[in-house]
Each structure stands twice: as C-alpha cells, then as structure tokens.
Amino acid sequence: MKIKAAMLICALFAVMFAFAGCADKKDNTSGSGTTSATTTTTATSLPDMMSDNGEYEAGEDGVVTDDHADTSAPEADPFESGKDRIEEGDESLRPGDVTDDGIVSSKNDKDEKVTSDEAAFASSYITKTSLSEKKIGWGLGKERDSSNRPIDAVRAEEKYSSLGGRFIASDGTICLTFDEGYENGYTASILDTLKEKNVKAVFFVTYDYCKSAPELVRRMIDEGHTVGNHTWSHPSMPDLTQKEVWSEVTKLHEYVKNEFGYEMTLFRFPKGEFSERTLDDLHNLGYTSLFWSFAYADWDTSRHTDPAEALARIEDSTHSGIYLLHAVSETNAEILGPLIDYWKEQGYTVGSQL
C-alpha cells in the first residue's frame, strides 16, 4: 500500500508539472503559434552621422544607415512618406554614389561605403524635393527704389538668398563682373585698365574659354581677380537633370583646379536661366550664384554701341549692385576707365566684393 501510495503521489506531481508547462507555453506564444521576439532599432539622425568619422552602408534600396545600429529590423524607406512628391520610378532623386567627376549615379550596392558628405547630399534630395523646376529667365524691370536699385533685384535677393542666389550688393558697393564665353581680343585691355585703377573684378569662364585663352585666365588669377564658374559647355541649366547639372559644374571646377591651382566658389547661370532646384544644386556644391542688377546687350557684337551713349546709360543706372559686362564688347573695354572713375567719384567701392 505504501508503494502504491508513493506511485500515486508521483503520478499526481507529474500531471501537475505537465499542466504548468502547457500554461507557460501558452503564455509565450502568439496567436499564429510562433514564439514572439522583441526587436529594437536605432534611429540615426543626419547630424549624428555627420559627427561620426565612420562610414555608412548604403542598402539595396539606397537608404543610408548607421553601421553601428541594431539591424535586426529593416529601416523604413524615407521615400515612403514622400511618394506624392516623387514620380514613380524616378531614381534620379534617390541617394546614390558620387563618382570622381561629381556625377551621382543611380547604382545602389550594399557592399560599397557612403561617406558622411555623400550622406548629406542624399539627405538634401530627400528633404528638398518640393523645390520648383520652373525655368526662370532672369531679367529686370524698370521700377527702382529710392536708392536707384531695381526693385526686381531687391525682391529676388530676399526670395532666393537662402538658396545661395545673390542679385544685389551691399550699400556703397559695386561688384564688377565680366562673362567670358570666348575671347574677342579685348580682355587684355580690360585687365590693363583694372590694374591701372587698382580694381578687382569677377570673370566667369567656360571650358572653351579656359582652353583657348589659358594665359588670360592665369593673368586674372595672378593679378588678384576672382574667377567664377560659368559651366563646362554653357547650357540652360533648368533643362538638365540633376546629374547633368553636377557634371557641368564639377568638370569645370576640377579642370580649373588642376590646370591653374585655383578653386572656384562663384557661379553664374548661362543666359541667366535658373530654377529653384538648380539654385539648390549649386548651393549644395558650395557655390554662391551671382546674377546681376544691371546689364545691357553688350554681348551682341553686331550691335555696336556708341561709347558715349553706353557710358551715359551705365552712369544713369548707378546703384549699389552687381554689374554684368561682356568682355567681347569693344565699347566696354573703351569706357571702363572713365566708368570706374565716375563710380569712385560718387563714393562707391568698386571691386569683386559684395
């Protein structure tokens, strides 16, 4: 009897343990019958990424993630919340790899590294896709303020300065600029006058100009003038893709840097045609885009302007602003000395500063 009682007690305990195990198992299973697991992800902000000297992996979907973060759960695609602003299938706005010539490719290779600078570039196109693509042809109306400044230039400065656009100069300052698409035989005379008057200017050059007149570009640099980027081939920038914009700018940037040891920081849009998106492109490249608050049709060499008439026209427009002259104009070369003298007599500081 004692043995049977002991066996009965053991059997009872066995049944109790079995029931307890089932209860525990039930508590630790989901409705689908699988064991649940708690996963955590680490969100990495762009400032955090930029402050780290490490590198970051670009996943197959182009998303830049922190290689120190917990990757047990996939990170959400930042484009999911902005699908209404990005055309379906448009990979040009997705972060990719920046090649040696500054072109951003659509290639996404999870085995390649993305530097923090490239991550910043990618972030700019995630957050700024609402910028307008509308082409704006820069021009000026006749309305002026009490300081003789074109109202259009003043308003544009207020509207686009945050994107790196400059349309007007500070009080008492005249920023003198020349566009150099090709050499017409007058730039040397212009440089002579500037040297005589001790005035510095900004010269915006293209690749063709640098290639055909390297001695003049070298002289500009050696004599303390500012050389600005006027693109590789002088296209209308709003007509280009983002990749093409970067190529046009960075190819010339690297060419001038390699050939002349000079790094450009100022940009002028060919034909004055721009958009909010292309302004932002240049800003992301570290450029300030200079427009103008005065210009006239001096680029058309078939329309010879009487020097006295041209001088009077420019003098009448005098204001604190950015003046655009074309070095292909014989008239500009002829009147430059008297024009600088007039501006200085009126109390203006004339040079390359804003």
Residue (of 185, 314, 325, 220) closest to 268 by Cα position: 325
pLDDT over 70, % of the chain: 64
Residues recorded for the chain: 354
Tokens 């721009």 identify what position?
A: 274
DSSP string, 61-121: T--EE-TTS--SSPPPPTTGGGGGGS-TT-GGGS---B-TTSPBP----TTSEE-HHHHHH
Residue 272 lies in a domain: yes
Q: For residue 6, tell me if it sits in a domain.
A: no
Please indicate whether residue 84 is annotated as part of the active site: no
Q: Give the pLDDT mean for 158-169.
A: 96
The whole-number pLDDT of residue 96 equals: 33
Q: Do strands 56-58 and 113-114 pair parallel, antiparallel, or not at all (unpaired)?
A: antiparallel
Give the CATH number, domain containing residue 140: 3.20.20.370
Residue 158 domain-assigned (yes or no): yes
Q: What's the whole-number mean pLDDT along residues 126-138?
A: 78
Indicate the pLDDT class of residue 129, thresholds 50, 70 and 90. low
- The one-character DSSP state at 288 is E
Last residue of a domain, one of 67, 95, 127: 127
73 with 91, same domain: the answer is yes
- Find the helix packing angle between 330-345 and 187-197, rounded to 10°: 20
Domain-embedded: residue 20: no
Please tell me the predicted confidence (pLDDT) of residue 68.
37
Domain span at residue 103?
46-127
**Local confidence band at 303 (pLDDT 50, 70, 90 cut-offs):** confident
- Among 1, 247, 231, 222, which Cα is nearest to 103's? 247
Is 120 in the same domain as 141? no
CA distance 272 to 295: 11
pLDDT in tens, 313-342: 999 999 999 999 999 989 999 999 999 999
Nearest to 240 by CA among 248, 251, 229, 232: 248
Tell me which of 46 and 18 has the higher pLDDT: 18
Q: What is the mean pLDDT of the chain?
A: 75
Q: Using alpha carbons, select from 163, 190, 194 the residue that is nearest to residue 269.
A: 163
Which of 269, 335, 336, 271 has its CA nearest to residue 297?
Answer: 271
Q: What is the pLDDT of residue 112?
A: 43
108 pLDDT higher than 70: no
From the candidates 225, 283, 319, 326, give the one annotated as an active-site residue: 326
197 lies in a domain? yes
Residues 284 and 245 sit within 8 Å (Cβ to Cβ): no
- The span from the CA of 70 to the CA of 6, in Å, is 54
CB-based burial label for 26 (10 Å; 0-12, 13-18, 19+): exposed
Predicted confidence band at 12 (pLDDT cuts at 50, 70, 90)? low
Are 122 and 257 found together in one domain? no
| Residues forming a β-bridge with 273 | 137
Please, which pLDDT band fits residue 300 given cuts at 50, 70 and 90? confident
Q: Are residues 248 and 177 in the same domain?
A: yes
Return the sign of the alpha-carbon dihedral for residues 163, 164, 167, 173. positive
d(C-alpha 320, C-alpha 89), whole Å: 47
The answer to whether residue 208 scores a pLDDT higher than 50 is yes
CA separation (Å) from 305 to 238, 294, 295, 302, 326? 32, 16, 14, 9, 13
Residue 327 contacts residue 351 (beta carbons within 8 Å) = no
> Which domain-ending residue is among 87, 105, 127?
127
Is 326 annotated as catalytic? yes
Q: 114 and 185 share a domain? A: no
Q: Compute the distance between CA of residue 152 and CA of residue 39 in angstroms, rounded to an integer.
A: 56
39: in domain: no
Are residues 217 and 121 part of one domain? no
Residues 148, 273 within the same domain: yes
Question: Is 29 part of a structural domain of the chain?
Answer: no
Give the range among 3-17, 113-127, 217-231 with minimum mean pLDDT: 113-127
Instruction: Judge if 120 and 150 occupy the same domain.
Output: no
Pick from 40-44, 71-75, 139-143, 209-213 the range whose average pLDDT is largest.
209-213
Contact between 145 and 154 (Cβ < 8 Å): yes
Write out the two tokens for 329: 């104009």
**pLDDT band for position 153 (cuts 50, 70, 90):** very high
Together in a domain, 98 and 152? no
pLDDT tens-digit profile of 23-79?
444 444 444 443 333 333 333 333 333 333 333 333 343 333 333 334 343 333 333
Hey, what are 270's tokens? 């060919």
User: Do 123 and 144 lie in a common domain?
Assistant: no
Contacts of 96 (CB under 8 A, 6+ apart): 58, 62, 104, 105, 106, 107, 108, 122
Instruction: Say if residue 153 is in the same domain as residue 243.
Output: yes
In a domain, 18, yes or no: no
DSSP state of 33: S
Going by pLDDT thresholds of 50, 70 and 90, the confidence category of residue 297 is confident
Annotated catalytic residue, options 179, 280, 281, 298:
179
Same domain, 69 and 104: yes
Strand partners, 321: 174
pLDDT grade for 194, boundaries at 50, 70 and 90? very high
Residue 124 vs residue 352, higher pLDDT: 352
Domain total of the chain: 2
Stretch 242-247: mean pLDDT? 95
Last residue of a domain, one of 98, 127, 156: 127
pLDDT of residue 165: 97
